[in-house]
Structure 1
C-alpha cells in the first residue's frame, strides 16, 4: 500500500445508504485510489461510488448532501492523487455501464468511460475519419470532453456534436459543441457537471487513409513518449507559441529526480514514478520544474495534469 495509504476518513456509507434506499451502484469507504491512477500513488477516497447507469448517478447526486465534495475519475491517466487521500466522494464511471461505443452513418456515439483509443477504433471500423487523433490519447472520453483533449494537430472540439451529463442536483443536461465553450485544454461548462455520453461526427474516409493516420499517431507515441512507464501523460500545457518540453530541457531538468519521481529522459514533459514515488514526490518534482523554467526563461508553466486530494 502506498505511503499515506494508511490514512482513513470517517465512514459515512451507512448514512448515505439510509438516505438513498433505491441506490443500485456500489459505495465503498476508504478505498485506495492509487491503483486507479497511472502513477500508482495517492491515499484513499473517503467514498468511492460506482453508479450502475445514468439514472443511478442522477439519483445519487440528487440525494447527496450539498456539503460533500464530488470528484470524477476515469482511468486516472492524467491525475495525481495526494497522499492524504480525497475527502468526500470520488465517482468512477465503469466501462460496463458507461463504456459503450457505436457508429451510425458518419456519427460515433460513446459513453464517457470509453477509452479514447476505442472510439478511434469504432470510427475506423465504420470508415469515419477525423477521429484518428483519439488513438494516441491515453484517457477516456469523459476526460477528453473536460479538457478538450487533443493530439497530432486535432482536438475534441473539432469532432464533437454534443455531450450529455448530469448536474450536481441530479438534473440531466445536454450541451452542443458551442455550449461546451471549448478552449485549449479546457471548456467553459460548470465543473460540477458529470459527463456521461457524447456524439461525434467525421467525414466518411477511405479505410486505408484512416489506418495510415492511426499508425502515424501510434508510432509518434511509441518513439517520443515513455508509454511503458508509470506516468501521467503531458504534465504541463504548452505555453502560447512555445513547447513545454523544450523549456524544461533548456532549464536543465531532463532526468531530474525528487524521491522516487523523475523527469523522463525520453520526453521532458512527462514525469514518471520510478517505483517508490509518493504523490508528494511527483507534485514536488513538477513544482521544482516549474520554478526552474520560470527562472531560466521567465515563462510560467501551468499544470495539465490534475492534482486532487489533501497532503498526508
Structure 2
C-alpha cells in the first residue's frame, strides 16, 4: 500500500524545546553506542580464521549463506542490536521509549550494513547536534500524534494546522502509520516539526476560484536554467525565478570583508614585503609574513 508524508510545524515553548534537544542528544548517544558496538563485533569477526575461509570462497549463494551465519554468530544483525540497546534505553526511559530506541538501533545498523557490504568506506559517529530526527514504530506507542498534538513520554506539543489548510485537514483523515520528529536550523534558530507517515494517496489540491486541480500534469515545453544560487523556469503559461536553498545563510559578503581586513593587516605588519604598487617583493626572503 502506498504512503505519503505530511509535515506540520510544532508550536513549541522554550522548556519544551529544551526537552526535545535533550532527547535528540540522548538519541545521538544511543546511535553512537550502537555504531561502536557494531564496529567492535565486526572487527572481532574479521580477525577469525573462519571469516577468512569464507572470504576466499567463490562469490555465490553458499558464500552468502556462510556470511549470514557468521553475522548471526557475532551479533551483526538488527535483532541482536535491539537486544543490546534494551538496557541502555531502560536507563533513559524517562526520555526515550523502547520503540524509539529500537528505531535508532535500526538506523545505526542500516548505516553499518553499507560499510559491511563495501557500499561506503566508513560510517561516521554523529557529533553533538548532528542527529536531528527521531521516529517511532507506530502511532500507538512511543512517539504519537493524537488530537492534533505530539504526545511522547508525558510531553505534549500542539501542531500548527491552519483552518485554511484544507490539504492538511484532508490528509489527516488517513490512518497514521508512524511519526517522526524533526529539528531544523532556520534563520539562526531551531524549529521543530512532526512528520506523519500516512497510508494511502495524498489528497488532490483544488483551486477554489477555478475548480481546477492544482499542480496537475500538463503538456508543453518547459525550459529550466539551473544556476549556483537560483533556478529559472519558463513555460508558455508562466515564468519563475526561484532561489535555491533560501534557508541557508549567505555569508559570502562577510567572508570578503574579513579577507580584506586580513590583507590590510598583513600589509601593515609587513611593509618590507611589498612594492609601492602593492605587489609582493618576491626577491625579499629575509623575513616571514606576520599577520
TM-score, normalising length: structure 2: 0.21
TM-score, normalising length: structure 1: 0.20
